[in-house]
Amino acid sequence: MITDKELNALEKKIGYKFKNRKLLLTALTHSSFSNDDKKNKIESYERMEFFGDSILSFVVSEVLFSKYLVETEGKLTKLRALVVCEETLAKSAVTIGLSKYIVMSNGGIYSGGRDRPSILADVIEAIICSIFLDGGMDPARNFTLKILKKYIQLAYSGTLIIDYKSTLQEYGQARLLTVEYLLNKVDGPVHDRDFEYFVIIDGNTLGTGSGKTKKEAQQNAAKQAVVNLNLDFS
């Protein structure tokens, strides 16, 4: 379990002092730990992740809308997709050294779960929610901008990572083509899965991708399809 000293250190990195630290602890608790300790009924971050995702999207949308006044709805949507994605959130988590504070089962820790991008991204969203529940919108907004401000700037300059799924979806919509992701196989134990997906456009398989999460595998499949189609995704 995480100590008060460790929570103090994390609060300094986050830039917010919690009135109710239980909220922060919940935001750090993976379901593998809460499932192992059913006696104490410890809640995991999953519900907070859901709410935090919405707060995150709102804050980034608000900044883009206010900062880039001449951009179209389509451009703003694309910029938001670049910023609000698993990779940027995971990078933000690494920047503040979040992984060592995540509460997990021993199996999850030994398999490297604390460093998995999908889990780091989920915990960032849960922390945003925990700050909102503890102190309201202003501190939640401040933390979100603290970790994502540079990515917003990079996205606008065109030097941030590409959301290949969005690019592929726009390609399909413009041509009235159906874009589908088909799960091909799942390997590995429950706590350390490997997923493989096909991306199928109008009945043709144009990309294959694998990853530790379904999102990651689909993104990698989309990336291969974007390359195969020679699309302009700048």
92-126 pLDDT per residue, tens:
999 999 999 999 988 888 878 888 888 999 999 99
CATH assignment of the domain containing 207: 3.30.160.20
pLDDT band at 145 (very low <50, low <70, confident <90, very high): very high
Task: Tell whether the model's pLDDT for residue 221 goes beyond 90.
Answer: yes
Q: Are residues 13 and 37 in the same domain?
A: yes
Closest by alpha carbon to 68, among 198, 8, 146, 158? 158
Domain count, the chain: 2
**45: which DSSP letter?**
S
Distance CA 133, CA 213 (A): 28
Answer whether residue 185 is part of any domain.
Answer: yes
* SS3 category, 179: strand
Mind listing the pLDDT tens digit for each residue in 179-199? Answer: 999 999 999 888 888 999 999
Answer whether residue 28 is part of any domain.
Answer: yes
**98: which DSSP letter?**
-
Answer whether residue 151 is part of any domain.
Answer: yes
Over the chain, what is the mean pLDDT? 90
Q: Are residues 142 and 203 in the same domain?
A: no
Cα 155 to chain centroid distance, Å, stands at 16
Q: Are residues 99 and 212 in the same domain?
A: no
Among residues 101, 126, 157, the one where a domain terminates is 157
Active site residue 122: no
Distance CA 9, CA 132 (A): 20
Q: Are residues 168 and 139 in the same domain?
A: no
Answer whether residue 186 is part of any domain.
Answer: yes
Residue with tokens 């530790």: 212
Q: What is the pLDDT of residue 37?
A: 65
Q: Which of 49, 122, 125, 216 is catalytic?
A: 125
Q: Residues 233, 224: contact at Cβ < 8 Å?
A: no
Distance CA 88, CA 144 (A): 12
Among residues 157, 185, 213, the one where a domain terminates is 157
Mean of pLDDT values over 3-15: 95
Q: Which of 53, 86, 87, 216 is catalytic?
A: 53
Angle made by CA atoms 82, 137, 19, in degrees to the nearest 5: 120
Rg of the chain in Å (alpha carbons)? 19
Q: Which of 11-25, 39-53, 200-214 has the lowest mean pLDDT?
A: 39-53
Task: Tell whether the model's pLDDT for residue 172 goes beyond 80.
Answer: yes
Q: Are residues 92 and 168 in the same domain?
A: no
Q: What is the pLDDT of residue 2?
A: 86
Q: How many CB atoms lie within 10 A of CB 137?
A: 12
Active site residue 53: yes
Mean of pLDDT values over 45-52: 96
CATH assignment of the domain containing 100: 1.10.1520.10
